[in-house]
Structure 1
Amino acid sequence: MKTTYQSWHKQTALITGAASGIGYELACIFACDTYNLVLVDKNGQKLSEIADKFQQKFGISVKNIVKDLSIASVPEEIFTELQQASIKVDVLVNNAGFGNYGLFNETDLTAELKMLQVNLVSLTHLTKLFLKDMVNQGDGKILNVASTAAFQPGPLMAVYSATKAYILLFSEAIANELADTGVTVTVLCPGPTESAFHETTGMADSELLREKKMMTAETVAKIGYRGLMANTTVVIPGVKNKILAELVRFAPRKLVTQIARSTHEVKK
């Protein structure tokens, strides 16, 4: 696959975790809206297939960056590579992330340190790098993907939930700081979504997911994209998810935590 760059004068969206799930669906939407794309994922074969498909179907330019965001140097490498290619990022989508499942004293530390790097540190690093140019130009958009897990502690997913809470609070704070700069920040907080996430974390049979109809990644992406374009700061797909996110603000914290524990448990 040969990638061409003749039309990088169009607006460009950078999307991390673009090979599958919500990230892929967001890439589809941006491509349909004729954005050029910078797609970041460690699955190079999948990115190559996506680039071929999008370039032929939508007539856009696609640059693939095959990198693992659990490596601390990668955000700077991505930024430098795009600077050298004279590619300006107009929309930054920090979608990459993963979780794990189990009691914190029994889960794998190495996996959790990688999770912190991907979900939290790389997201912050990429935002810092690309935001400066956006502010200087007086224009730009950032979409950070969190979760409804951000609204309460998550026993059995303690680190994952904490990373999503960080993303929510971080996004709300800088959205406020950036008022009147021409740059907007949106944080997308989906509930359980159809994807491979639940199988890989081992919680597919939890009370939260068992026999529950989940929103599709395509639907979540469409809602997130509309919120981004409308400059909405916090986007929670689904009426039920919005209600639950509000209710936890008023319930006793100990009760909220216990309810979260019961929904995360795998019933035997």
Structure 2
Amino acid sequence: MSTTQSYTLITGATSGIGYELAKLFAADGNNLVIVARHIEDLQRVADELKAAYNIDVIVSARDLFLPSAPFELHMELREKGIVVDTLVNDAGQGQFGEFSEADIHRLLDIIQLNISSLVVLTKLYLNDMLERGSGKILNLSSIASRYPGPFHAVYHATKAFVQSFTEAIRDENKDKGVIITALLPGTTATDFFNKANMNDSKAVQEGKMADPATVAKDGYEALEAGDDMVISGFKNKFNLAMGKLMSDETKAAQMHKMQEPADTENH
């Protein structure tokens, strides 16, 4: 394979926001490397995108819960001569419930996926981009990054890390030809809540969820424009603006009420 072929690498690309981002990049003629855990899902999405957009799609079944996985992914693609000119760190999970009752090993897996794998991939591909003097990185943050998260304490904390990390490395590299953007969605209609065992929360039962295609479009356009970050959705922009006027204690209490189980008052 030619070493001059450039690709967009997207983790978590088989569903939700990652899948919608993959379609947007493909529609603009970008070759893709899509990464997820299950080869059947990857192959289904790859076949769909290749047929619809006449691009090349490489699949890599990697479990980013494993510390070695992002290093192995980078090495695999380098050995194949794949140049990644855009990195999209979309993969992420949460676990709903009180921290004291959660499985610590599940929480450590979430930290590995949401933080450690993202940091490793960003480090490896940022260095490659700096060598070439060009590249783009889109990190999936969340409006959760701006709020303490009762019933979702570790997830909110991981997104606070992602947001702070993304802002910092953007500043470090702002004059080096690499665009680094954070996408902050709110509650979005994806499989995230099912995986997090969160379907009974008020946020899911009573809230209005955003369309993942709309969220992806906001992120894609912000990256292409070179923006530092984008908050997806007017309501989320408004809530975050109001949140700046609140104490962390007040924000935590507000989030507690939003995220508690929907039937709490009946028990």
TM superposition score normalised by structure 1: 0.95
- Which residue pairs with 1:32 in the alignment? 27
Distance in 1, matches of 2:198 and 2:82, equals: 40
Percent identity at matched positions?
42
Deviation at 1:265, TM superposition (A): 0.4
Distance in 2, matches of 1:81 and 1:235, equals: 32
Q: Deviations over 1:38-96 (max 9, x none)?
A: 00100110110111122222111111000100000011101101110010000000000
- Which residue pairs with 2:225 in the alignment? 230
Residue 164 (structure 2) aligned to one of 169, 174, 186: 169
2:207 is the counterpart of 1:207: no
Instruction: Give secondary structure in 2 for the equivalent of 1:96.
Output: coil
How many residue pairs are counted as aligned between the two chains?
263
Deviation at 1:208, TM superposition (A): 2.0
2:89 is the counterpart of 1:85: no
Q: Deviations over 1:229-267 (max 9, x none)?
A: 011111111111011112222211211111111111013
Instruction: Give secondary structure in 1 for the equivalent of 2:33.
Output: strand
2:46 is the counterpart of 1:51: yes
2:101 is the counterpart of 1:106: yes
Q: Deviations over 1:131-179 (max 9, x none)?
A: 0111111110000001110001101100000000000000011111111
Distance in 1, matches of 2:60 and 2:246, equals: 44
Deviation at 1:9, TM superposition (A): 4.0
Deviation at 1:10, TM superposition (A): 4.7
- Which residue pairs with 2:119 in the alignment? 124
Distance in 2, matches of 1:216 and 1:48, equals: 24
Deviation at 1:11, TM superposition (A): 3.4
Q: Which amino acid aligns with 2:148?
A: P
Distance in 1, matches of 2:66 and 2:139, equals: 19
Instruction: Give secondary structure in 2 for the equivalent of 1:105.
Output: helix
Distance in 1, matches of 2:51 and 2:195, equals: 32
Higher helix share: 2
- Computed over aligned residues only, the root mean square deviation of the Cα atoms, in angstroms, reads 1.3
- Which residue pairs with 2:144 in the alignment? 149
Distance in 1, matches of 2:64 and 2:5, equals: 26
Residue 63 (structure 1) aligned to one of 58, 61, 64: 58
- Which residue pairs with 1:96 in the alignment? 91
- Structure 2: 5+ residue stretches without partners: none
Distance in 1, matches of 2:131 and 2:4, equals: 18
Instruction: Give secondary structure in 2 for the equivalent of 1:141.
Output: strand
